[in-house]
Amino acid sequence: MRRALPLMLLATTVSVPAFAQKSPMTDPKTAPLSYPAAKRGDVVDDYFGTKVADPYRWLENDVRSDADVQAWVEAENKVTDAYLATLPGRDVFKTRLKALFDYERFGVPVKKGGRYFYSRNSGLQNQAVLFVRDSAAGQGRVLIDPNGWSSDGATALGEWVASDDGTKLVYTVQDGGTDWRIVHVLDVATGKVLADTVEWVKFSGLAWAHDGSGFYYSRFPAPAAGAKFQSTNENQAVYFHKIGTPQSDDALIYATPDKPKQGHAVQVTDDGNWLVLTTTAGTDNRYEITVVDLTSPDAKPRTIVPGLDNEWTLVGNVGGNFYWQTNKDAPRGRIVVMNLYARSAFPPVRELVPQDKDVLVSASILGGKIIATYSADVKSEVRRYSLDGVSEGTVALPGIGSVVGGSGTDKDTEAFYAFTSFTTPTTIFRYDVASGKSSIWEQPKVAFDPAGFTVDQQFYASKDGTKVPMFIVRKKGTSGPAPTLLYAYGGFNISMNPAFSATRIAWIEQGGVFALANIRGGGEYGKAWHDGGRLANKQNVFDDFIAAGEYLKAQGITGKDQLAIEGGSNGGLLVGAVVNQRPDLFAAALPQVGVMDMLRFDKFTAGRYWVDDYGYPSKPDDFKVLYAYSPYHNVKGGHAYPAILAATADTDDRVVPGHTFKYTAAIQAADIGARPHLVRIETRAGHGSGKPTDKIIDETASDWAFIAKWTGLVVK
């Protein structure tokens, strides 16, 4: 999820969990497991006259400090580890995953001061290493290697930005998967880390002053003692840090203390003359834009786009002419220009590139041209325009797939971008603006033959008749009903695009099918597609996903007891909800770091932002919708459920682990069949960002072996 209401918490004291046998429904494939006892508390909340029990409220307590939660976690992991050790395919998957991950991977280079900065992973390194070259084709040297920062490989290099002259680099450290960052500064020539340190940074951009004297960033107030991983994130403000000074001296640039729920991102224009502040109040792309003229020492922040109504994403500027990507009066996006020297509160807007039938994903000014990426039925297309909005054709791509990143400035004659597809590992291209031609900058070599796979895009009808696209990836020769893994996300305007995944290749090579459904709630078809799957329309997301499973069976792609499902974060909510609604449809489920309690999600860390997509539990109409699909509250006893392996992590401060803890306790206590209903609780793993390669391999090997057993995939 991007970063982008009050009930009493009754702490319940419990004894150290012991193993307790329950008597589940019979299942011919397995003997029932014994799960750790989770004591039921007597918490009941009153929502507008509806009494809602929350017997496992105590599992919301911080696992790092609550001994009872720690004991329950240890007991759950013991049961899960013992079960996973019995799966014969796990070692096969682990060996193959190591081979598939063992290839050189590059990030998109960023050019600053004639130097090229980029990330590289040699293959099985736990964390990518930051390199620098003195020329595009030069020899790279290591600038930052985070692999020695911790013994478990779980301390990662986060965001990084080089100064305009390429002499200094500001970067963040992410420890154990947390969203919190610690900021440091490095001298590029010597590799020396300077004394500057900035803390309590989260959901922040980093932007250098043009002269390299310091950088702008966003941070929150320091949380109360013991509340670092659970307290709600409010009162974010923008500061300027001058190099060589303590954080306590940082200058406050912009804040809205009267509106504590607003967050503020910061960027400096390529010419260094303007500070652009983007204010949000949730996860929607509804922004307020404030600018500061940095050429004037007495300039004050000036709001040029008031309110939080539409997207306004900076494409670039030429002097006072600012180019924007916006969905104002254009739900699929358009490009407009405004002149900031017009002193009106809201400078006049002139349309340059009108809305198209396809969705505008991103745009930049590169070498005096507008380069815009569109999504056409979930496939990337890159178009080129003059600064007057005149079409100059398209940028040739190597095939059907996704452009997943780019770098360059309005003064550069070269730009870089990454391209990927289901069978094409991320390849870095250099684009020559003058000639309009692309060339390969770095191309990985992988331990499989992409020609041995097929990718099809098919469209199926959802419950209400809406046509939904779905990609189906198979190994050539795989035919007839086959064990299938269905994946989707369905929220927050996030599109699920074709992309390479070594983990999925390992599943497909064994004869499994992978299907990606582009369900509503995402951004695949613009604002209408997003709106069609959020708030009161959230059930459409579940209907779309269920319809995808039914389609796969009706078309003979998969068969009875052959369909597994997977989703993470909002996708974990998706999996939990559809399992409750249609337990008969699925053989196995992998809900990962999911939002499982829809009545209390807004009480922890970044959860308060998500009301844009989910609504407010404190509002009667929203409560009715949320309560109807909340995974934790809708487990159906008396129905045979698929095998479930849920996952979370102790340092997940995005979707706090209490969501999965409570959901797990609920499904293990319910009479839902004897198939295993387990949870894997990682340590120092967070929400997923910064996860070490070896942990990814271990987790995936277990996941694939688990669903292989329950879908009938024979692992060879």
Q: Would you please indicate which residues are annotated as catalytic (active-site) residues?
A: 569, 687
CA dist 112 → 18, 188, 269, 408 (Å): 58, 11, 14, 9
* Neighbouring C-beta atoms of residue 121, cutoff 10 Å: 19
Contacts of residue 446, Cβ cutoff 8 Å, sequence gap at least 6: 100, 103, 425, 502
Q: Distance between CA atoms of 36 and 39, rounded to whole angstroms?
A: 10
Contacts of residue 435, Cβ cutoff 8 Å, sequence gap at least 6: none
Q: Distance between CA atoms of 321 and 365, rounded to whole angstroms?
A: 12
* Neighbouring C-beta atoms of residue 555, cutoff 10 Å: 12
DSSP state of 70: H
Taking only Cα atoms into account, the Rg of the chain, rounded to an integer number of angstroms, comes to 25
List, as one string, the DSSP characters of 674-690.
Answer: SS-EEEEEESS-TTSTT
Q: Distance between CA atoms of 467 and 465, rounded to whole angstroms?
A: 6
112, with CB counted inside 10 A (0-12, 13-18, 19+), is buried
* Neighbouring C-beta atoms of residue 183, cutoff 10 Å: 24
Tell me the backbone φ, ψ of residue 249, rounded to 5 degrees: -90, 0
What six digits make up the tokens of 693? 């390669």
3-state SS, one letter per residue, for 545-606: HHHHHHHHHHCCCCCCCCEEEEEECHHHHHHHHHHHHCHHHCCEEEEECCCCCCCCHHHCHH
Q: Locate tokens 């809205």: which residue?
A: 256
Q: 2: helix, coil or strand? A: coil
What six digits make up the tokens of 117? 């900065």
Q: Distance between CA atoms of 210 and 166, rounded to whole angstroms?
A: 11
Q: Distance between CA atoms of 448 and 476, rounded to whole angstroms?
A: 13
Tell me the backbone φ, ψ of residue 322, rounded to 5 degrees: -105, 130
Q: Do the Cβ atoms of 588 and 644 come closer than 8 Å?
A: yes
**Nearest partner of 335 among 279, 407, 385, 404, judged by Cα:** 385
Long-range contacts of 323-328 (CB under 8 A, 24+ apart): 323/352, 323/363, 323/365, 323/370, 323/387, 324/349, 325/360, 325/362, 325/363, 327/285, 327/526, 327/527
Contacts of residue 700, Cβ cutoff 8 Å, sequence gap at least 6: 93, 97, 503, 506
Burial code of 215-240, b = ≥16 C-beta within 10 A, e = fewer?
bbbbbbeebeeeebbbbbbeebbbbb
Q: Distance between CA atoms of 597 and 466, rounded to whole angstroms?
A: 28
Hey, which bits of 192-286 come out as E strands? 193-208, 214-219, 237-242, 251-254, 263-268, 274-280
